[in-house]
Structure 1
């Protein structure tokens, strides 16, 4: 039983996409559209499972990361260097923005419980909670032990699962309406939110992270069944958390809610003071998990793109994640509100994801690289269907933005 229930690298994927950005987007989906976008969350999870299985299979079979494989398959030196610059730029800019939002979100959850957390230094007002969160993330990353990171994130993901599911049950949802929410609805007014839900669940840097970390647990293609089971269980658990957040948000009516902390406060008069604490703890856990995985992913991508052979404890690897973590703590401590940046990043992810997914599908059909473990016809059909769905939603989302300008 212990072996059956054991989950590993997939937990880092779930921990990465269940961050404050996800909590915010899912909360707003519930507040704005009720239960009607639950189907979009299920679609997002299915897309995530399909793509992350490919990334995990690539990592287990080749024992290499996605960025290393992509660049090794490009023979033209100019194109390869250009691609490396694009990947590194996207990871540094994107993960730095995410990190600010991750730490700010975790601090927001804790501040909801603690109250005022500002201290005045000279003429500046500084929030000390982001520094505390940064120190926790720094400590876990600096240890440089994959097992410590994995076990810490498993605990935090379980905390999120319990807190958000309790919050959803507390709202006493109308189950007939919940069931209707799983019926697809592509109404124009919901399209950007659908793109946002996909973008916040299927995070491009997760594809790089997953392909890199599976080699820490599994060393041969014989372990593929275990890797698949791990991915499905962990991602499904993350999906359950997202669904619970949408259901919680749907219980709020006629109240201005812009983030999960507002959701916690708005539920308090109806469901008691515990609602505030439960949701705030969940938001804090979401911030911590993503504050760890975003710098870690950046470290792996830079390591692979530049051909470093050093591991988690090397100074070069540590310098990358320290830089991302420092930016996140700095922006969050100075009170720079990253909410709009994070929401933009979620939509941008939904639009950029087809490009990354296209690269992944191309790589997964290279017999010289994967041998008999290339995509089957069925996997390619599903993969290209997923790619078409993301292209459709991305184009429609861009068109809607242009029309509204």
Structure 2
């Protein structure tokens, strides 16, 4: 059993892509289109597993993260500058912008569970800041400050398991139509007006910064492993367990929203609305479980987003440990300020979305190039892995083109 299922670095990837943004996107997908778009989540999970397997294998075999490997791959100065600028723009600036949403989502979950207590109102009145955002930011800092990979992994495994329990239990309480779920998973359809939602569902799951996170964390976990083949076997078991678990969480959120809202004529704007409005339909327990899942999702992404950005920047720019810590600390601080003051950095988020839209196919192509270099020896990509990677690259190119067109035409 242990050789097939385990939790490890891939859990960080699941924790990264199941954030408040994914919960909101999945909620809206279920509320507006029922179970019809579940197939997009199934594709996302498969595509993520293909790319993350390559990233983990790269980290284990080379002992370096994706950033370090890209620095060795690209030697032409202009191409190196453009690639590095794109990574910094998309991963570092983008994660700084999204960090505010991560902390805000966790704060909404906390408020739905514990309410707006007198102490919280008093602190907010005197400081003008959101105390929940400050507390969540401090928790993220404490987890990362220790600098121990084992501690970070254990904390995030706990949060992913908590999310799984909360969201899947909520789904079961709402009694979804399982036959419709199976049909939605296996029969791809795009209802009228659902194209943007399909792009969003895939885009919130297959994200470029997770490749930096997984390669670096795998290199850290198995840096002393004497048997590369055994380490890769453990990594593959981790991917088979963790990534589908993250997909199950997304499916649970879509199904909960579909059961509660699809065809009802009611509308929701965010996941916190879904948590609060479940109470009249399915009881207080459903509200608590949904809010707990949202809190765990926000907190897990509040840890993984700055960590991924720091890994990417350290690999690309050869940062010292002090600058590595300064990078993630700065991103958390930006997120706390954005969330506490209720700011909406629309232009920065728009810029991050554009940069991410360009980065995903570029990084996918670079990853495929790295995985075919001779220094990987027997662990290079075979024809099957290259074929699957090429399919993911082409689809990411189409999705990115569509996203960029929408960003510039809106």
TM-score, normalised via structure 2 length: 0.91
Match of 1:210 among 197, 211, 214: 214
Deviation at 1:114, TM superposition (A): 2.4
Give yes or no for contact 1:18–1:290 (8 Å, CA) kept in 2: yes
Aligned-residue Cα RMSD (Å) equals 2.3
Match runs of 1:22-37 below 5 Å: 22-37=22-37
CA distance in 2, matches of 1:148, 1:346: 31
1:371 aligned counterpart, secondary structure:
helix
CA offsets 1:57-115 (integer angstroms, 9 cap, x no match)? 11111111111111211222343233222212222211101211110100011011222
Task: Quote how far apart the aligned CAs of 1:6 are.
Answer: 3.5
Matched residues in 2 for 1:124 and 1:102: separation? 21
Deviation at 1:34, TM superposition (A): 0.6
- 2:247 pairs, out of 216, 232, 239, with 239
Q: Is the 8 A contact 1:110 1:284 kept in 2?
A: yes
Q: What residue number does 2:311 align with?
A: 300
Structure 2 equivalent of residue 284 of structure 1: 295
Indicate the residue corresponding to 1:391 in structure 2. 397
- State whether residues 35 and 254 of structure 2, in contact with CA within 8 Å, keep that contact through their aligned partners in structure 1: yes
Change (3 A) 1:394 1:269: same
Corresponding residue for 1:316?
Answer: 323
Counterpart in the other structure of 1:65: 65
Please give the residue correspondences for 1:6-405 in structure 2 after superposition, counting only pairs within 5 Å: 6-116=6-116, 117-119=120-122, 125-182=128-185, 183-187=187-191, 189-218=193-222, 219=225, 221-222=228-229, 223-251=231-259, 252=261, 253-308=264-319, 310=320, 314-337=321-344, 349=356, 352-367=359-374, 369-398=375-404, 405=410
Q: Deviations over 1:298-337 (max 9, x none)?
A: 22112111224x5xxx322211111000000011011124
Kindly state the Cα deviation for residue 150 of structure 1 after the two structures are TM-superposed: 0.6
Q: CA deviation at 1:176?
A: 2.2
Q: Deviations over 1:265-319 (max 9, x none)?
A: 22110101111111111000001111111111122112111224x5xxx322211
- Number of residue pairs the alignment of both structures matches: 399
Q: Give the 3 Å change call, closer, same or farther, for CA 341–244 of structure 1 in structure 2.
A: farther
CA contact (8 A) 1:17 1:200 kept: yes
Q: How does the TM-score come out when normalised to structure 1? A: 0.92
SS at structure 2 position matched to 1:137? helix
- Stretch deviating more after TM superposition (123-132 or 233-242): 123-132
Task: Choose 218-227 or 23-32, whichever is displaced more.
Answer: 218-227
Distance (whole Å) between structure 1 residues aligned to residue 141 and residue 9 of structure 2: 20
Distance 1:140 1:399, change over 3 A: closer
| Paired residues of 1:7 and 1:230 also in contact (CA < 8 A) | yes
Distance 2:398 2:78 in 1: 31
Mapped contact 2:3–2:237 kept (Cα < 8 A): no
* Distance change >3 Å, CA 345–CA 127, structure 1 → 2: same
Distance 2:41 2:283 in 1: 28
Cα distance in 2, alignment partners of residues 112 and 348 from structure 1: 34
Uncovered stretches (5+) of structure 2, i.e. residues with no partner: none
Secondary structure of the residue aligned to 2:129 is strand
- Structure 1: gaps (5+ residues): none
